[in-house]
Chains A and B, each alone.
Chain A
Amino acid sequence: MRSALLLGAAALGGCAWDGPMSTVRARSDFARDILYVYGIITWASVAIALVVFAALGVVLLRFREKPGAPLPAQTHGHTLLEIAWTVAPALVLLVIAIPTIQVIFRTQVAPAAQALDVTVRGRQWWWEFRYPSLGVVTANELHLPAGRPVALTLEGPDVIHSFWVPQLGGKRDVIPGRENRLTLVPDRPGEYWGQCAEFCGASHANMGLRVFVDTPEAFARWLAAQRATPAEPAGLAAEGKALYARSACVGCHTIRGVSAGVLGPDLTTFGSRTTLGAGLLPNTIENVTAWIHDPGAIKPGVKMPPLGLTEPQARAIATYLTGLR
């Protein structure tokens, strides 16, 4: 216990609490509601633990066997005491239960009318985000305007996943055949990390996502870029586009005006994303080239097969794709 307490103290004092996936840095109303209950329970638990450890400490210090001492008093019980320590935990639980119930219902209300609808589709092992009211489809990086309620509808076409962006709130499973929802109001612009939180097969660990909460102006700019028709590429990128259009890529990927595959992520504005492979790598030409060359080497189990392209061909396509902004 002593070492546990010491470690605990070290953890509380010496650790950083604001990592990109921290559950204790709330950046939405949903996360803040949770943190409020979290705080109450944590401190109640710490208090109870201290009482128990204090009692244990006293016992260990005071009641050791002494040679020659008579048998200790053979107490069999004490009704009042036992009633007391039945009622006391019940009271503590009441303190925890009331805010818990309040927050359960408050965080599962129907979304507000002006909420931005986003359909989240969790797939092995990437995320698709559809904005039905805005006509935008993207993958792995979700943009949300700060201050506006958002209603996420979670759909799964393959196995169960769980959508989780800790700083924006708790996780919710993405279950094929069931429509789950999350509603929240992100309140501070920034980049937030998320990750699939339900084991979903080989590359469960590689199913990250990013949420960019933008100021309303920045969101409008991002939206306009998503809707714009990509400019016709030139040079190596043009070569890449031609290669893309006649290779197997088109069977799975959509690039508006070029291809209409649905098995893989929509690549129409691929270049505007910061990461590749669901939060796996920075989105650079080198990384994309390596990915196209042999995706399975980077992401175990990935559904995209190696396409048998040469390194220069892969680089041409990578140049084309990263240019799609």
Chain B
Amino acid sequence: MGHAGGMRGHASAQSGDVGGMGGHLGAPHVGWRSWVTTVDHKRIGILYGVSAFVFLLVGGIEALLIRLQLAGPGQAVVSAQGFNALFTMHGTTMVFLAVMPANAAFFNYIVPLMIGARDVAFPRLNALSYWIFFFGALFLNASFLVGAPPDAGWFGYANLTSKQFSPGMNVDFWLLSLLVLGVSSMIAAVNFIVTILGMRAPGMTLMRMPVFVWMTLVVQFLIVLAFPPVTVGLIFLMFDRFFGTHFYDVAAGGDLHLWQHLFWIFGHPEVYILILPAFGIVSEVLPTFARKPLFGAPVVIYSGVLIGFFGFGVWSHHMFAAGMGPVADAAFSIATMLIAIPTGIKIFNWLATLWGGALRMTTAMHFAIGLVGLFTIGGLSGIMHASPPVDLQQTDTYFVVAHFHYVLIGGSLFGIFAGVYYWWPKMTGRFLDERLGKLGFWLLFVAFNAAFFPQHYLGAIGMPRRIYTYAAGTGWAFWNLVSTVGAFGIAVGVLVFAVNAWRSLRAGAPAPADPWDGRTLEWRTSSPPPVHDFDEIPAVSGRDTFWREKYGPRRGAPPAPAHDHVHLPAPSHWPVVIGLGIALLAVGALTHLAVVALGALVAVVGVFRFALEHHRTPAHAQQIGSLGVDHRKVAMWVFLGSECFLFGTLIATYLAYRGRSVVGPYPHEILNIPVTTLSTFDLLMSSLLMVLALAAVQRGDQRQARLWLFGTALFGLIFLGFQAFEFTTFVHEGLTLQQNLFGSTFFVLTGFHGGHVTVGVIWLLSLWVLALRGRLAPVDAIKVEVAGLYWHFVDVVWIAIFTLLYLIP
């Protein structure tokens, strides 16, 4: 499949045709403003990387304070509440602000190079993801400045997070920033799925993609599908805290398992979101320095896909102690154990890659082999708590703390360091010092094991997690002290890296284009790569295509390299403006409604300017990628996939809570089926008008296009009118958001759908205005088509809602 579409019309939001190579390439790349407005995937990658390192230090300092407090029994370095805030922020920071953005740094910088592309599919969306992340991260940490850092755990179990038990702004900071960060991850994930599927160089079939690209692709799908459930969970929490709904209110009939399910349906795939990129990095580093191809590469790829797939079926192994009953325990136990098989396969394939190789023990190789060893320990301890009986003794103890630090430091962080040492010369054009690098590795390796291996033992002799103090008689003191010493050793190891990085940037040895005798396309261009990545888009003849070029007999003639003009996206300041608007929304939620209004205004203006910035730039009109489908259409399909999970979660919650309200009014007393049948019919008809509108735009019939676009929007407005009528009637009959569980679930679900309809109406009216101005030619039909996909989806969702809420008693 892969290269069918070729690379016609390079898929970026171009500033214009620069016409061949070596000419003027966009705006000057100097000064801080160029960083704020950049849409270059490499610069955004660096922004992600630097941010990740800063937050690694922040989260690290939090960890050191935690370890100081636990160095001995009865310490008073921090208060109980301070400690609770520290472990909450440490977990949240390391997951969302350190490891995820560090991975994003590699996705951004390396993936386009590896697939032979000049940028990602949507460069400005890429910048938008970064800036939303940036403001979300600042917002989360601003909680320290106002003395209200989140303190209910990174997992924020309901109902401890309710207003009753956490009255301060602490939990608000946490939930709002997670919502903001989720938006950022979602945008980035859609972007990278489209990029990887649609922007591969000629000849780069899916199975020829480097394993790192594959793992990136799997991770993006995990993000797209795993974030919606927790987003819905957080929205419930937000409604509970801000508007008095009852999602997590036991007295009103709420079920506290709900949050746990929603959180872990996200939370377990999240583990793979954190670790699979490291697996991908190692799968590149080991072959390069063993000077052998990855052993059984297809199997390594399939295992990664399987791990991602199974990752959705095991969430409840985080809830074995929550009392789900023996059948659920057994089912989730078996599913969890199954994941060990593809994971084990990866380990064995890495070992087989090394076997018989000619190992060059660079620092990157040290970290990669370190990962293989340390992740083995973390994986095996994971199998131990896949067994519910054993888990009942291990969960919420330091055994689990040891386990996931072996996975997340020994796995993710070691993989990230392997990637940093491996790709640093490519990114900076300079080498890191190998001697300092190896010193740093051994410091990290020894200190890490000193810090975390004893925690297995501490867990086995009963030390629970998240305790700020312990008694002397428990026998936990000595190994806690060892662990603390180890933690400081890790800090020294990280500092050694910082020194190395600093020295390299100032006066590191210059690196050639291909310093490691690499196997993949990123080594085919200069170090650092030119703004446009490749002078000529390379043709791909197989896996490890660059290695084949250098060493291999080529089988058959490779596809001709694509001849294209170099189009570079123009810088844009609308991404940072939108990011700021979203940050203002969050700030406003904690301060004043006026700030919310301001944030909404900034965000909406930003979105419109963003959308219209390149309207009708000729090169922008067509974005057909290697899938043969317009990027925007692929993006919309992916987005709608995540929307399915979003509405699926909302509907599932409604169904799970049906009949649990402790006071009336109840659904059968209030739902008006005849009226809603009318509004459903109206919405269905709008889909028909949408089809007519698209057809009119496609054949260039301006008059009809205007008519049907307006008609579709009007029918959408009529539906909203019906909804407004229904809501006011219900309120008059005593059903409010706060009345009972039925009110909470009903209004949030249908309100969310109404919100989607509203967005659709605004979108359609915007297109209508463009049509009125004669700016919607047949070449712009794709824009109407994408809006149409969204509109049809929203209609289909309503049919599901109408059936499940209204028709089924």
Contacts and interface: CB of A to CB of B under 8 A. Distances in A.
Contact of A45 (B295, B338, B381): B381
A6 to B, nearest CB: 9
A289 B469 CA distance: 22
Contacts of A305: none
Given A104-B388, A160-B256, A173 B160 contact: no
Contacts of B80: 202-203, 205-206, 300-301
A81 interface: yes
A202 B340 CA distance: 37
B80 to A, nearest CB: 4
Nearest to B376: A52
Given A160-B159, A178-B256, A23 B393 contact: yes
Interface string B337-352: 1101100110111011
Contacts of B663: none
Contact of B290 (A15, A24, A72, A204): A72
A22 B399 CA distance: 12
Given A82-B349, A175-B257, A178-B257, A65 B358 contact: yes
A300 B454 CA distance: 29
Given A197-B396, A199-B153, A105 B326 contact: yes
Given A56-B369, A65-B358, A101 B392 contact: no
A65 B372 CA distance: 19
Range, interface on chain B: 35 or more
A114 interface: no
Interface residues of A, number: 94
B79 interface: yes
A204 B256 CA distance: 19
B322 A199 contact: no
Interface in A1-28: 1, 3-4, 7-8, 11, 15-17, 19-24
A172 interface: yes
A156 B158 CA distance: 13
B422 interface: no
A268 B606 CA distance: 67
Contacts of A59: 351, 354-355, 357, 359
A193 to B, nearest CB: 8
Interface in A216-239: none
B589 interface: no
B672 interface: no
Contacts, number: 298
A48 interface: yes
Contacts of A34: 389-390, 392-393
A89 interface: yes
Interface in A26-82: 33-34, 37-38, 41-42, 45, 48-49, 52-53, 55-56, 59-60, 63-66, 69, 71-78, 81-82
A34 to B, nearest CB: 4
Interface SS of chain B: helix
Contact of B345 (A55, A86, A197, A206): A86
A76 B300 CA distance: 12
B721 interface: no
A171 B356 contact: no
Given A17-B461, A97-B337, A300 B79 contact: yes
A196 B462 CA distance: 11
Nearest to B482: A7
B392 A7 contact: no
A180 interface: yes
Contact of B255 (A101, A177, A198, A203): A177
B105 to A, nearest CB: 28
A90 to B, nearest CB: 6
Given A49-B377, A52-B351, A82-B299, A89 B392 contact: no
B291 interface: yes
B207 interface: no
A29 B394 CA distance: 18
A169 B394 CA distance: 11
A70 B380 CA distance: 37
Contacts of B450: 3, 7
B361 interface: yes
Given A49-B377, A65-B291, A199 B466 contact: yes
Interface in B435-465: 445-446, 449-450, 453-454, 456-457, 459-465
A318 B467 CA distance: 28
A322 to B, nearest CB: 21
A71 B467 CA distance: 54
B282 to A, nearest CB: 13
Contact of A160 (B157, B389, B453): B157
A140 interface: no
Contacts of B456: 11
B468 interface: yes
A108 interface: yes
Contacts of B383: 41, 45, 93, 96
Contacts of B334: 97, 101
B720 to A, nearest CB: 36
B474 A56 contact: no
Contacts of A97: 333-334, 337
B545 to A, nearest CB: 14
A100 B387 contact: yes
B597 to A, nearest CB: 35
Interface in B163-179: 165-166
A152 to B, nearest CB: 12
A72 B358 contact: yes
Given A93-B341, A197-B397, A301 B250 contact: no
A117 interface: no
B591 interface: no
Given A71-B551, A104-B330, A63 B468 contact: no
Given A52-B347, A56-B369, A60-B359, A8 B462 contact: no
B333 A104 contact: yes
Contact of B389 (A37, A52, A199, A204): A37
Nearest to B406: A4
A195 B476 CA distance: 14
A96 B296 contact: no
Interface in A163-197: 164, 166, 169-173, 175-178, 180-181, 193, 195-197
B81 interface: yes
B328 to A, nearest CB: 10
A72 B255 contact: no
B359 A19 contact: no
Contacts of B299: 77, 82
A162 interface: yes
Contacts of A24: 460-461
B321 interface: yes
A245 interface: no
Contacts of B467: 195, 204-205
13 contacts: A49-B377, A59-B354, A75-B356, A76-B295, A77-B296, A77-B299, A93-B340, A93-B383, A96-B387, A104-B389, A170-B392, A172-B321, A178-B256
Given A199-B152, A204-B466, 20 more contacts: A3-B446, A16-B461, A34-B390, A34-B392, A45-B380, A53-B373, A55-B351, A59-B355, A59-B359, A72-B358, A104-B329, A159-B165, A160-B256, A171-B392, A171-B393, A197-B321, A202-B80, A202-B81, A208-B471, A301-B81
Question: What are the nearest 7 A-B pairs in CB distance?
Answer: A170-B392, A21-B462, A205-B467, A19-B475, A180-B323, A300-B80, A77-B296
